[in-house]
Amino acid sequence: LEVKNGTFLSYRRNYRRKEKYMALFDKSALTYDEWCQTPFGSFVDSLEKKLLFDISRPQKEEKALDLGCGTGISSLFLAEHGLDVVGIDISEKMLKKACEKARKQNRTINFIHGDIHHLPFPDETFDLVFANMVLEFVKEPDQVLTEALRVTKKGGRIVIGLIGKDSYFGKLYADKKENDPDSVFAHAHFFSFAEIETLSQEYFTKIYPGLYISQEEFTDVQKAWEKEEERKEKLDQKDASFIVGRWDKHL
């Protein structure tokens, strides 16, 4: 597979070339980033990035893979930190948005159209493999993790961001799953802490919880960070709306 900078190439392994394929997130592509521009959305976005950064400790010039990269939020974030990034997603429309953003920001990121159940990379290619809010939407999370481990170098790590099943957001999205058949959550699976740990027990390292406040109680960014710090100490980790798991591929 040839990968070109700032463009995406089709990697249609699981569906026929002539079929008109509509990926679940195609319909969200144009509006996906809008939420991050609202005051609460922007707070959540910074908190998630901080947590992902603290946990993954990205280093300049490392090779990173962003699984289910969507509109490229994490891909761009990693590129800004000097990593050599490849993003892969099944939605052409989300990828188109990611390409536009990378071009505007003058970042060189390789975006690939493909299914993350079958990664088009040799074994041990990447230092860091990211998957933010993706595992909830795939058919076989175990297979995705197995593939992620295959393409991770020995000594590398996988960092996965997930919605906390029993949290404020988990319940909000579970409600959409129940009541809105057109929602992207209609077939989503939300993971409990126990389930996350069993995804790949051999390499599982740790879970880091975060995001303890709801949209209703958000007033301003400063207070939100203070509340977040306070609650981190007091609340149970299952109340965290965003959880990040880290898997280390031992040498």
Ligand X SMILES: C[S@@+](CC[C@H](N)C(=O)[O-])C[C@H]1O[C@@H](n2cnc3c(N)ncnc32)[C@H](O)[C@@H]1O
Q: What is the dihedral of CA 183, 44, 243, 122, to 10 degrees?
A: 80
Is position 69 an interface residue for ligand X (rule: CB under 6 A)?
yes
Residue 7 and residue 108 in contact, taking contact as beta carbons nearer than 8 Å: no
Q: Which residue has the closest beta carbon to ligand X? A: 70
Give CA angle at 218 (212, 219), nearest 5°.
145
41 or 231: CB nearest ligand X: 41
Instruction: State which of residues 40, 52, 62, 74 lies at the interface with ligand X (CB under 6 A).
Output: 74
Among 44, 51, 86, 94, interactor with ligand X by CB under 6 A: 94
Q: Residue 164 and residue 210: Cα distance in Å, rounded?
A: 9
Cβ closest to ligand X, residue 117 vs residue 232: 117
Q: For 36-65, give one letter per residue: b (16+ CB within 10 A) or e.
A: beeebeebbbebbbebbeebbebeeebbbb
Q: Which is nearer to ligand X, 70 or 164 (CB)?
A: 70
117 binds ligand X per the rule CB under 6 A: yes
Residue 144 CB, nearest approach to ligand X (Å): 7
By beta-carbon proximity to ligand X, the closer residue of 8 and 193 is 8
Of 3-11, 101-109, 114-122, 204-212, which part binds ligand X (CB under 6 A)? 114-122
